[in-house]
Amino acid sequence: MAVYFISGIDTDAGKSIVTGVIARTLAGKGVKVITQKFIQTGCTGISEDILKHREIMGIPPQEVDKDGTTCPYVMTYPASPHLAAEIDKVEIDTGLILRSTEKLSSLYDVVLLEGAGGLYVPVTR
């Protein structure tokens, strides 16, 4: 199992596209790969970025997407995770994020973990 963290210097830097393309390339080589987004803001339901990854990979949403494992925190307000969590009255448990990543790494050969926002975006206060 291997977990690779993919980040960028800002929102809309291309992280989701790069993550999806890397996942598609690895899957094409026979690697059992999944993508993860530990926090998504500005949407509801399944993470928009996870859905973008699946579209690029050419596969439908997976069970681990539907049960929230690939994105344990989805918040409605489009802001940095800590601010969106305050507005949505959600307490971010980094342990839950870690457990989700550990679960995925036990099921897949490679986990591509896409960060939220840019490198210095705070997850919690």
- Report residue 117 CA to chain centroid gap: 11
- Whether 37 is catalytic: yes
Cβ(16)–Cβ(114) below 8 Å: yes
Query: How many Å apart are CA 106 and CA 101, to the nearest integer?
Result: 9
Q: In the β-sheet with 110-114, what is the strand arrangement from edge to edge?
A: 2-6, 110-114, 33-37
Q: Over the range 88-115, which residues count as b (16 or more CB within 10 Å of their CB) and which as e?
A: eeeebeeeebeebbebbbeebebbbbbb
Choice among 15, 37, 89, 103 that is catalytic: 37
Q: Catalytic residue numbers?
A: 37
